[in-house]
C-alpha cells in the first residue's frame, strides 16, 4: 500500500490491491439480493449479512436493487434505511451509523484511481467514508472517498460531497457546501 495525499480532504488515500474474486463474490451476492421482493425483509437482511460478512440488526431496511463492489467493508448501525438503486463502493470502507436514511440512487464511493496518467490503470486508491448518526442523504447524492459526514447532517439531493460535512448542517451543490446549520 502507498499513501497518496488527497487534495480534497488533506488526509491521505491508500493505494490498495483489489482481489477480483471478492469483487465477483459481491456482484454474485448483490444479484441474488436484488431478485428478492420487498415483502421478504428477513431474506433481504440475511442476504445483506452474507454480503457484508456481519450480522445486521432487525431494524435494518433496504429496498433492492443495491450494488457493491466488495461488500465486506460495509458496516451499518441500527435503524438504517437504504432506498433503491444505491451503489456502495466499499473498497476503501464504508461505516454507516445508527438511524441513517439513504435516499434512492445515492452513491457512496470509497475508492478511485490515481490522477497520475502513468498509474491510473494500474492502481486503486481508497479511503473510508463515515456517515454519522441520524444523517439523511438525499436522492442521487454522491459521497466520495475519505469523507466523514457528522451526526444529524443532511446532504441535499444531487450533491457531490468531496469534503467532510460538519455535524448538524445542510450541504448542497456540486461540490457540496454548507448551506446552513440545522
Angle between helices 41-52 and 20-34 (to 10 degrees): 180
CB neighbourhood size of 12 (10 A): 14
- What pLDDT does 14 receive? 64
**In percent, how much of the chain has pLDDT > 70?**
92
Instruction: Provide the domain count of the chain.
Output: 1
**85-121, pLDDT tens digit by residue?**
999 999 999 999 999 999 999 999 999 998 899 988 8
Pull the grid cell for residue 71: 461488500
Catalytic residue among 57, 113, 122, 177: 113
9 has pLDDT over 50: no
Q: Which residues pair with 127 in a beta bridge?
A: none
CB neighbourhood size of 79 (10 A): 17
Q: How far apart are CA 109 and CA 126, in angstroms?
A: 9
**111-164, pLDDT tens digit by residue?**
999 889 998 888 889 999 999 999 999 999 999 999 999 999 999 999 999 999
Q: What is the pTM of this model?
A: 0.91
Q: Are 60 and 80 spatial neighbours (Cβ–Cβ below 8 Å)?
A: yes
Closest CA to 128 of 52, 75, 69, 60: 75
In this prediction, residue 3 has a pLDDT band, given cuts at 50, 70 and 90, of very low
φ and ψ at 130, to 5 degrees? -125, 120
- What pLDDT does 119 receive? 87
176 has pLDDT over 90: yes
17 has pLDDT over 90: no
| Domain that includes residue 6, residue range | 2-181
What is the CATH number for 50? 2.160.10.10
- What pLDDT does 11 receive? 54
> 68: phi > 0 → left, psi -120 to 50 → alpha, else beta; which?
beta
8-state DSSP, 12: E
8-state DSSP, 165: B
Q: How far is CA 112 from CA 14, 35, 94, in A?
A: 10, 28, 14
The question of whether 113 is a catalytic residue gets the answer: yes
CB neighbourhood size of 23 (10 A): 15
Amino acid at each position: 500500500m502507498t499513501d497518496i495525499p488527497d487534495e480534497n480532504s488533506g488526509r491521505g488515500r491508500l493505494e490498495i490491491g483489489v482481489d477480483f474474486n471478492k469483487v465477483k463474490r459481491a456482484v454474485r451476492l448483490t444479484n441474488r439480493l436484488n431478485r428478492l421482493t420487498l415483502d421478504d425483509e428477513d431474506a433481504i437482511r440475511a442476504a445483506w449479512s452474507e454480503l457484508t460478512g456481519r450480522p445486521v440488526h432487525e431494524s435494518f431496511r433496504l429496498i433492492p436493487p443495491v450494488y457493491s463492489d466488495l461488500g465486506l467493508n460495509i458496516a451499518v448501525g441500527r435503524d438504517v434505511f437504504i432506498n433503491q438503486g444505491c451503489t456502495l463502493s466499499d473498497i476503501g470502507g464504508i461505516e454507516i451509523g445508527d438511524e441513517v436514511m439513504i435516499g434512492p440512487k445515492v452513491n457512496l464511493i470509497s475508492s478511485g484511481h490515481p490522477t497520475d496518467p502513468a498509474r491510473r490503470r494500474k492502481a486503486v486508491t481508497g479511503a473510508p467514508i463515515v456517515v454519522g448518526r441520524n444523517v439523511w442523504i438525499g436522492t442521487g447524492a454522491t459521497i466520495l472517498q475519505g469523507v466523514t459526514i457528522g451526526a444529524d447532517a443532511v446532504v441535499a439531493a444531487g450533491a457531490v460531497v468531496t469534503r467532510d460535512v460538519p455535524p448538524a448542517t445542510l450541504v448542497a451543490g456540486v461540490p457540496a457546501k454548507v448551506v446552513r446549520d440545522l
